[in-house]
Amino acid sequence: MPGAGQGAAARPQRPESPEEPLAREDLLLAAAYVSDAQYNRNVPFETSPQAIRLYYFYNHWTMQAITYFFICIDLSLALFEEPALFPLPFLATSIAEVLCLTAFFGRLVHFAKVTPQRVFWKDTKNICVMLTIALTLIDLIIYGSLETVNIHSVRWSRALRPVFLINFPESRQIRRAFRSIRNTLPDILYVFLLFMFSVLIFSLMALKLFGDRGLKTVEGSPYFTNILEIAFELYVLVTTANSPDVMMPAYDFNWWYSLYFITYIIINTYIFMSVFLAVVYNNYRKHLKNEIRKLAYLKRHKMTEAFNILKVKMDTEFVVKEAPWRQLVKVVAPDISSSHLELLLRICDEGQKGYMDKTNFLRLADLLNIQVVTINVKTHPLETWLPRVYQSAASLLIQKMVRHRIFVWVYDVIILINAIFIALDEKNPLISYAEWLFLSLYIVEILLKLYTYEPRAYFGRKQFWNWFDTLIIMAALVAMVANATIQSARKYNSQQILDIVLILRILRLLRVIVSIQRFRVIVTTLINIGPTMLTFGGLVLVVYYVFAIIGMEVFHGKVLFFDPNFTAPGALVCGNPALEDSIFAQSRYCRNNFNDLASSFIVLVELTVVNHFTLLANGFALVTHQVAKLYFIGFHIVVVILIVNIFIAFILEAFFVAYSLEKSEVETAIEKKIQELGVGVQEEEVQDGKLIDNVDTKDCGFSGDDGDNKRKSLKGLYFRIASKKYRTVDALLQRMFESEIAPEDEGPSLDEILNFSPSDIYPKNPNFENSA
């Protein structure tokens, strides 16, 4: 591999002699490499210790939090600017904006300090941010000066605000999604052109077939007489939004014309939309693989760099000694517990020789990535305080009862009965009392569980459902008590509190899911992909924000909403005479407007869902010019064809990975080692509170064990490995790919890695297994 020698040769200034003491800078540099590899960052930096400290500071969570805070402020400014949800004077919002810009600029300067100049200026991210800052300032100045002479202009730079969200180094995931979209564009463009061609051909046919028939739509307007309108209607038919309506006049006229529409729907709605999904999904997979391959090789590369810095010559091979290794780990992970450190050392330095070879050293980043929770196997507090009572026959019976499967079933039945009670009328006082009964039953359940299981284990970090249970019930208790107090004192129900009580009460029903094994697999997969779904949240936010700003500029004030109880003139036509007799007004859609950011977002959600797309589009087309339809088609192409398809592709991929893992566990060497040492506890055992039983049993057997040195020193300490179930798709794919790289393989050189193209990884000889 060309990269191997090159990586070492790139830094000839590093001490190669094994006898030279380890310099503080070298340690820091190695630590920077390791922590970089650990989090898969990719920030080249200067090698002076000060630069490294600056770099650490740059990556500190407080700095990131501050940046995000300013991004939030900047984005939410749209709530206060005209058209505003909460109006503020222009001066206030502009000062806030300038503050944000300053913060962004400061962050950029900080980034420039920790990055080599050449790299900094090559990075389009930074250029983008600088340009946006400059443009926003220019726009602010122009708008402000025009405003002082009372000329109202357009604050166009507001649509650029999401650039800050996308381009700051922390939003890697959102950028990746955008990159994926950008890469998909050329492929999708051809399908899109073909699709548009097909729509046009069908439009022409429709014009010729129906144009001269003198048919009328339900609203009485002429049917299919203008080629552009036909093209729009047929485009909308692809979204299915005007499905039978657009066909009805022709169908009423002649039975056979329905075949035209059915052909159109099969070709354009079903086949073309599936082809879009296929193209998007194919590209998504391709680029996901490429990115992950890049990350895996980068990690290997960085760990090799770190090894080259710390290595000393021992006999024939280069190794890293225990002392620098310990220092390194302490720098990289300052808050690591000493027992955890011991564990890692045991894994890396298996023979306890006081040094480790390259293969073992390279594992460090992975080892630090594995979430290891040290569990102190402790006895139940009650057992310590009142051993006699806790170990009495009655107490043991209770514990046995609670641990029994039937206990879970009984509570499932109780929850279902509760569901029926909730569905019944609440006005009945008996049912109202029953609610108190159910609540007390749930509290008894939690208390019993706490009595049986060790409380600290019960509320462990990963015990999602225990936390969920307790929080829901506590909150319900608090809310019900608060409501009862207010009710008895003031004789009226607080609507907000009641709403909260109701929702909490119903959420409790979710617990039934946990009892059924088959449901749990689906739910766990969904929870696992939750974090990545937030990426899509960011992506959607960016696109929505841009469209909302444009929409507000174009449509604000055109459609007004009046309170239904308030009989203002024009309330029935949404305050716009153009909407008279329109279906938009008749369907009482007045609240679907672009008069503030929140309303705009809701309209955009409705457009994403696609149904009644025409109704909305036609409504807004009536109050502005027909050109407004372009806005709606543009939105459909970007959000529905691109983003929703990427979202579907992502969920498909996540489930395929989850399915293939269900059948065959991918256990890496690292986990096996932890298992070998006998100090690992599988996540599965932790669920249902089985953990404590298990640990107890093991603890009992410990003294009678073979007195293994390793085990003894770790007695009373267990390590929980982050379960296979709690992994993101990325992590899973990355591990799959890593297990394919041989330990000796240092991969291609850094430049090669950074320039990986997705087409490289296409298998040259696809075989049956990987093709399907």
- Within positions 546 to 585, which residues make up the interface with a copy of itself, using CB under 8 A? 561, 564
The only residue of 137, 443, 523, 546 in contact with a copy of itself, by rule CB under 8 A: 523
Q: CA angle 643-65-462, nearest 5°?
A: 75
Selected range binding a copy of itself among 36-44, 113-121, 238-246, 541-549, rule: CB under 8 A: 238-246
Selected range binding a copy of itself among 366-374, 435-443, 588-596, 749-757, rule: CB under 8 A: 588-596
CB of 602 to a copy of itself, least distance (A): 5
Site string (704-733) toward a copy of itself, x via CB under 8 A: -----------------------------x
The two structure tokens encoding residue 503: 């929702």
Q: Examine residue 672 and tell whether it contacts a copy of itself (CB under 8 A).
A: no
The only residue of 151, 406, 430, 772 in contact with a copy of itself, by rule CB under 8 A: 772
Which of residues 330 and 511 has its CB atom nearest to a copy of itself in the complex? 511
The only residue of 359, 376, 660, 713 in contact with a copy of itself, by rule CB under 8 A: 660
Tell whether the torsion through CA atoms of 392, 393, 398 and 400 is positive or negative. positive
Q: Examine residue 542 and tell whether it contacts a copy of itself (CB under 8 A).
A: no
Selected range binding a copy of itself among 66-74, 126-134, 376-384, 609-617, rule: CB under 8 A: 609-617
Which of residues 307 and 438 has its CB atom nearest to a copy of itself in the complex? 438
The only residue of 123, 229, 322, 653 in contact with a copy of itself, by rule CB under 8 A: 653
Residue with tokens 């809701």: 602
Residue with tokens 């009482």: 588
* Binding to a copy of itself, residues 477-516 (CB under 8 A): 499, 502-503, 505-507, 509-510, 512-513
Helix (H, G, I), strand (E, B) or coil at 229: helix
φ, ψ at 357 (rounded to 5°)? -85, 180
Q: Examine residue 159 and tell whether it contacts a copy of itself (CB under 8 A).
A: no
Q: Examine residue 327 and tell whether it contacts a copy of itself (CB under 8 A).
A: no
The only residue of 105, 407, 464, 737 in contact with a copy of itself, by rule CB under 8 A: 737
- Burial of 551-572, coded b for 16+ CB within 10 Å and e otherwise, reads bbebbbebbbbbeeeeeeeebe
Alpha helices (H) along 220-272: 227-238, 243-253, 257-264
Q: Examine residue 666 and tell whether it contacts a copy of itself (CB under 8 A).
A: yes
CB of 255 to a copy of itself, least distance (A): 7
CA gap 339, 713 in Å, rounded: 9
CA gap 745, 686 in Å, rounded: 37
* Binding to a copy of itself, residues 398-427 (CB under 8 A): 419, 422-423, 426
CB of 571 to a copy of itself, least distance (A): 11
Letter for the amino acid at 23?
A
CA gap 722, 184 in Å, rounded: 34
CA gap 359, 465 in Å, rounded: 39
Q: Taking phi first (over 0 means left), then psi (-120 to 50 degrees means alpha), and beta for anything else, what does residue 510 get?
A: alpha
Which of residues 136 and 203 has its CB atom nearest to a copy of itself in the complex? 203
User: How far lies 588's CA from each of 362, 388, 563, 696, in Å?
Assistant: 64, 71, 11, 64
- Partners of residue 372 on adjacent β-strands: 721
Selected range binding a copy of itself among 177-185, 347-355, 401-409, 522-530, rule: CB under 8 A: 522-530
Which strands sit side by side in the sheet containing 355-357, from one edge to the other? 312-314, 317-321, 355-357
Which of residues 285 and 403 has its CB atom nearest to a copy of itself in the complex? 285
* Binding to a copy of itself, residues 163-222 (CB under 8 A): 190-191, 193-194, 197, 201, 204-205, 207-209, 218
Site string (245-284) toward a copy of itself, x via CB under 8 A: x--x--xx--x--x---x--x---xxx--xx-xxx-xx--
Q: Examine residue 638 and tell whether it contacts a copy of itself (CB under 8 A).
A: no
User: How far lies 266's CA from each of 142, 203, 249, 609, in Å?
Assistant: 52, 15, 20, 20
Which of residues 232 and 361 has its CB atom nearest to a copy of itself in the complex? 232
Selected range binding a copy of itself among 75-83, 172-180, 650-658, 712-720, rule: CB under 8 A: 650-658
Q: Examine residue 534 and tell whether it contacts a copy of itself (CB under 8 A).
A: no
CB-CB contact of 365 with 37 (8 Å): yes
- Partners of residue 374 on adjacent β-strands: 719
CB of 704 to a copy of itself, least distance (A): 37
Q: Examine residue 763 and tell whether it contacts a copy of itself (CB under 8 A).
A: yes
CA gap 372, 367 in Å, rounded: 9
Which of residues 181 and 571 has its CB atom nearest to a copy of itself in the complex? 571
CA gap 302, 288 in Å, rounded: 21
Q: Examine residue 760 and tell whether it contacts a copy of itself (CB under 8 A).
A: no
* Binding to a copy of itself, residues 25-44 (CB under 8 A): none
Q: Examine residue 640 and tell whether it contacts a copy of itself (CB under 8 A).
A: no
Site string (423-462) toward a copy of itself, x via CB under 8 A: x--x------------------------------------
CB of 7 to a copy of itself, least distance (A): 23
Which of residues 395 and 608 has its CB atom nearest to a copy of itself in the complex? 608
**Burial of 672 from C-beta contacts in 10 A (0-12 / 13-18 / 19+):** exposed
For the chain, give the number of residues. 772
Q: Examine residue 635 and tell whether it contacts a copy of itself (CB under 8 A).
A: no
Q: Examine residue 108 and tell whether it contacts a copy of itself (CB under 8 A).
A: no
> Smallest Cα–Cα separation from 419: which of 507, 481, 548?
507
Angle between helices 495-507 and 464-490 (to 10 degrees): 150
Give the interface size with a copy of itself as a residue count (CB under 8 A).
108
CB-CB contact of 375 with 682 (8 Å): no
